Amino acid sequence: MSRYAALAAFLFAYTWIMSQLGGMPPLRHFCRLEIPLVLGIYYYLNHLTRPSKWQAVITAIPIVFVYALFDMVFLQFGRLLRVVEVKELPELMGVFPLWAIVAVIFVVGSACTVFLISMRYKMDRTTIIGAVLILGLILTVELKPDSFLYAFEKVQRSVTMWSDIQSAEDNGRIWMTLYSEAKRKSNAYKMVDFKTDPAFLNKMDNKVSMINSLKKKRNVHLVVLESFIDPTLFAGVSFSESPVHPDFEKLFKNKGSLSISPVFGGGTAQAEFEVLSGVPALGKFSGMEFDVFTGAGTFCLPTLLNRAGYNTIASNAFKPDFFNSINAYKGAGFQHSYYPKEYAKGRETYLSTGDVTDERYMFDGELLQQNLNYVAQWKKNNPEVPLFNYIMSIYGHYPYQINTEKRPLFIQVKGSIKDGFLEHCVNQYYYRTQALAEFVRGIKKVDPESLVILISDHLPGLYGPNTYEKLNYADKNKDQLHLNRVFFFENGKAVHYNTLHHYDIPDIILNYLSNGSYCNTQDCQFKIPAKEIAGESHDEAYMTILANAMK
């Protein structure tokens, strides 16, 4: 029994240590169902392998790997790993540096090889019973999710709906992952009831009619910026120079606003989903809503504008297959989607990455200048057709590389802790705000009566949530890890809004287009300062949008 006690003690110590380093909370209620499940799996793995002096360690490795994966995901994204996200790991690996990919493949490959070599491949009663129990648990979650949820809620502690991390602390990481998967499957079975929700469809028709009735349809330019963190929101650091470029400061002065993103450290597609759909990214069917889009049309802002006569275009600075964006943009209602020719050979495009030496990702200045040229030419050729111009950047993505020959690191960061990633992000912010200022001035020149929105998708992960806590980001606001900058430029002037959510962006756009009359007849939540997310109030709209997107 010593190996089982040792594993339980190790996991308790490991999770406590990781919690001190910014990882997930420790196994506070480890005597409940989590440790019994883990020890049962450990017993089964020991049974499957040949006895040796290293058997106890070899069979513990898969379990330790699973717990380490939970912490890795939390440190990078600030959330609990879900089953459906496992299939997204190869895609996320695609943006890691080569050395990290090689290291992960080597470590995981070596561990798997050692384990497989140690197996004894004997089909006996214990092997069969263990396989049946594990398979039975998996099949219950996947095929009878409501039965699993009923049993879970009877024997486990209550689930904290606003925090899956708190729930994981109360109920265990593995059990909460199974719970989230069962919840996802349960929602999927109910989806058919929402495809033609009459009340929702009528509401969408009214919005289209409202836009159609406008005598003048103004253009909208919405720029979503990868990991666009404002260093001035850190109270615990100082800078040798202002991280805000003077041109940008002159345009916006103190008119910057704050928006609450659904994600931290990664998951750009979740932020995109919110700013395009107008509902929270609730994650009911996938770790990322864009993953379940099939290209079938659904009721997002571009669809409404398209139906009202707008030309809707999406320009993305990265690969077409990243986050299923081709299907997602088509389903959201974009008539055209453009990617750099280096990633999209054979597709119509006006974009090129330009020089990405030592940076890997297309610089914002290249993306925005090319888009500005496109917009100027479009307006010249189509003066009577309104435009919804959506741009998704990639510069500033992990690992925050910067070509110091083109963009020297001249801003030094002084704070209580050292975070090399932060220094790169600070200097990137300076050059990015310079590029944004040039873009906004260009739009003001070629399209003065229009709306420009610049919004960060999410905060960069840096060295994890601890960096934000220790450096007092956003005055340690309760939404600290989700507070992002957003800037509004309406008809040639900067405008400030109270703290809002990413999913408020469509209402803000519609209210702008209607000169403020839209919110006189609608419940515009951004009008209420820092209003809490009321998930239930968005459920029907969320389900209808996803039901049609998944056709």
What confidence tens digit (pLDDT) does each residue in 412-467 have? 998 766 767 899 999 999 999 999 999 999 999 999 999 999 999 999 988 888 88
pLDDT band at 528 (very low <50, low <70, confident <90, very high): confident
* Token pair in block for residue 175: 């059990």
Are 164 and 254 within one domain? no
Instruction: Note whether residue 183 is domain-resident.
Output: yes
Instruction: Note whether residue 161 is domain-resident.
Output: yes
Range 108-117 average pLDDT: 83
pLDDT band at 533 (very low <50, low <70, confident <90, very high): very low
> Exposed, middle or buried: residue 469 (CB in 10 Å: 0-12, 13-18, 19+)?
middle
Q: Would you give the distance in Å from CA 228 to the centre of its chain? A: 13
Contact 491, 266 (CB under 8 A): no
Contact 127, 48 (CB under 8 A): yes
Contact 47, 126 (CB under 8 A): yes
Distance CA 195, CA 237 (A): 50
187-201, 328-342, 363-377, 435-449: least confident range: 187-201
The conformational region for residue 417 under phi > 0 = left, psi -120 to 50 = alpha, else beta, is: beta
Between these two residues, 15 and 180, which has the higher pLDDT value? 15
pLDDT digits (tens, 9 = 90+) for 183-225: 777 877 777 667 777 888 888 999 999 999 998 999 999 999 9
Flag whether pLDDT at 74 surpasses 50.
yes
In the chain, the N- to C-terminal Cα span, in Å, equals 52
Are 178 and 252 within one domain? no
Range 506-527 average pLDDT: 89
pLDDT band at 76 (very low <50, low <70, confident <90, very high): low
Tokens 């997204």, located at residue: 88
484 strand-pairing partners: 259
Instruction: Note whether residue 312 is domain-resident.
Output: yes
Are 296 and 417 within one domain? yes
Instruction: Note whether residue 469 is domain-resident.
Output: yes
280-294, 352-366, 519-533: least confident range: 519-533
pLDDT digits (tens, 9 = 90+) for 469-498: 889 999 888 899 999 999 999 999 999 999
Q: Would you give the distance in Å from CA 102 to the centre of its chain? A: 25
* Of 191, 208, 242, the domain-final residue: 191
Distance CA 29, CA 11 (A): 12
Of the candidates 210, 30, 41, 54, which has an alpha carbon nearest to the alpha carbon of residue 117? 54
3-state secondary structure of 319: coil
Domain that holds residue 148: 2-191
Of the candidates 285, 289, 253, which has an alpha carbon nearest to the alpha carbon of residue 271? 289
How much is the mean pLDDT over the chain?
Answer: 88
pLDDT band at 78 (very low <50, low <70, confident <90, very high): low
Full DSSP string of 367-431 = HHHHHHHHHHHHHHH-TTS-EEEEEE--TT-TT----TTTS-----EEESS--HHHHHHHHHHHH
157-171, 246-260, 325-339, 388-402: least confident range: 157-171
3-state secondary structure of 119: strand
Distance CA 153, CA 170 (A): 12
Please give the tally of structural domains in the chain.
2
Between these two residues, 110 and 307, which has the higher pLDDT value? 307
Of the candidates 309, 306, 325, 327, which has an alpha carbon nearest to the alpha carbon of residue 317? 325
pLDDT band at 520 (very low <50, low <70, confident <90, very high): confident
Flag whether pLDDT at 85 surpasses 70.
no
Rg of the chain over all Cα atoms, to the nearest angstrom: 25
Are 119 and 244 within one domain? no
Instruction: Note whether residue 158 is domain-resident.
Output: yes
Full DSSP string of 460-479 = B-TT-HHHHHHTTBGGG-TT
Are 181 and 33 within one domain? yes
Instruction: Note whether residue 309 is domain-resident.
Output: yes
30-39, 81-90, 181-190, 301-310: least confident range: 81-90
Are 427 and 296 within one domain? yes
Distance CA 217, CA 304 (A): 13
Distance CA 371, CA 108 (A): 42
CATH number, residue 518: 3.40.720.10
Are 69 and 162 within one domain? yes
Are 306 and 159 within one domain? no
pLDDT of residue 449: 95
Most distant CA pair in the chain, distance = 81
Find all residues with CB under 8 Å of 395, minimum gap 6, and list them.
Answer: 226, 317, 359, 361, 362, 363, 364, 367, 428, 432
Are 344 and 459 within one domain? yes
Distance CA 260, CA 499 (A): 8
Are 313 and 404 within one domain? yes
The DSSP call for residue 337 is E
Flag whether pLDDT at 88 surpasses 90.
no
Are 293 and 391 within one domain? yes
Distance CA 512, CA 517 (A): 9
Instruction: Note whether residue 199 is domain-resident.
Output: no
3-state secondary structure of 498: coil
Are 11 and 139 within one domain? yes
pLDDT of residue 155: 83
Instruction: Note whether residue 198 is domain-resident.
Output: no
Between these two residues, 49 and 31, which has the higher pLDDT value? 49
Tokens 């253009």, located at residue: 219
Distance CA 442, CA 444 (A): 5
Between these two residues, 208 and 531, which has the higher pLDDT value? 208
